[in-house]
Chains A and B, each alone.
Chain A
């Protein structure tokens, strides 16, 4: 996950006062990247762990572990293969492509979080997801026992692969182009280790993680990053430079909260 920090930002890397070249990363620059990567990775890690735990509980830890390790290995291969390619992409094209993906990804999460907060769609419950997954595996077990270990390993592999891909995407999107791959990777790895540690210690899915709140906050942050990056790729000179990201996030947050209130009112009026 630690890719090359190819495109340097003068505010991030530059000569220090005593003439030495070193990392001059300020907390205000790194903190949004670390927290965005940490919070979004937390959500993805919980989702992956729920399925791995379900597989492990029903079919044993061997297929669950094999599937998860295979998923992690493929993810590592994807990162190692694609990481160096980022060096070759012009910065404004990289900003545009990743900005668009961030905006699509962030607004998708934000939309869903608003609809859940307003009660239009039900909240995602890891306990229900875990119960559904274990029920499906048990049903398959009664049909075909021989193929089941493969199916179980495949379920574990797919969960780690898909959710891990989201984590990799977020790390690259938040960090690439601004020399923040390492802080973003640190945030993501910390979240994955935290969830894996707690999950395997308690052997239950982390149902108490406030997933919708996290998705709401991360959706706001990713949308703000997306707008900022797309604008930068077009040559927009944002007032306040990096500070603009915080202003955009505040705007997205206020508008999203307002939309929750508006949606609830529309729902109440429809019921009357």
Chain B
């Protein structure tokens, strides 16, 4: 049983390594979805939010990891 759990954890680890990054990506996707579904006329804005939100999340996460690494 523990071997199965270990394999499942490894499979989950293919997609999620840093929980903060994964949650932030899902948050951006959810915001973009709400915007696109509630206001279809604003779908280009939802697309922009998705693209630039993901880019912003990436930069913020890497900077956070770098600062965290340099803390004594």
Chain A interface residues toward B at CB < 8 A? 100-101, 103-105, 107-108, 110-112, 114-115, 118, 120-121, 158, 161-162, 165-166, 169, 223, 227, 230-231, 234-238, 248, 251-252, 255-256, 258-259, 262-263, 266-267, 270
Let me know if B66 and A104 touch, CB within 8 A.
no
Interchain CB contact (< 8 A) of B17 among A112, A158, A238:
A112
By a CB distance below 8 angstroms, the chain A residues around B25 are 100, 103-104, 107
The number of A-B residue pairs with CB atoms under 8 Å apart is 113
Let me know if B51 and A259 touch, CB within 8 A.
no
Let me know if A165 and B51 touch, CB within 8 A.
no
Interchain CB contact (< 8 A) of B46 among A169, A234, A256, A263:
A234
Let me know if A108 and B18 touch, CB within 8 A.
yes
CA distance A267 to B67 in the complex (A): 8
Chain B interface residues toward A at CB < 8 A? 7, 10-11, 14-18, 21-22, 25-26, 29, 32-33, 36-37, 40, 43-44, 46-47, 50-51, 54-55, 57-59, 61-63, 65-67, 69-70
Instruction: Name the CB-closest residue of A to B67.
Output: A266
Contact A108:B17 (CB < 8 A) given known A236-B46, A266-B67, A267-B70:
yes
Interface core residue of B11, B37, B65 (most chain A CB under 10 Å):
B65
Q: What distance in Å separates the Cβ of A170 from its nearest Cβ neighbour in chain B?
A: 10
Let me know if B29 and A169 touch, CB within 8 A.
no
CA distance A251 to B50 in the complex (A): 13
What are 26 A-B interface contacts by the 8 Å CB criterion?
A100-B26, A103-B25, A107-B54, A110-B58, A111-B61, A111-B62, A112-B17, A115-B66, A158-B7, A162-B10, A166-B14, A227-B51, A230-B50, A231-B50, A234-B32, A234-B36, A235-B43, A237-B44, A238-B47, A255-B58, A255-B59, A259-B59, A259-B63, A262-B63, A267-B66, A267-B70
Interchain CB contact (< 8 A) of A234 among B16, B22, B37, B62:
B37
By a CB distance below 8 angstroms, the chain A residues around B43 are 234-237
CA distance A115 to B67 in the complex (A): 11
By a CB distance below 8 angstroms, the chain A residues around B14 are 105, 108, 162, 165-166, 169
Contact A104:B22 (CB < 8 A) given known A111-B65, A120-B69, A263-B63:
yes
Instruction: Name the CB-closest residue of B to A232.
Output: B47
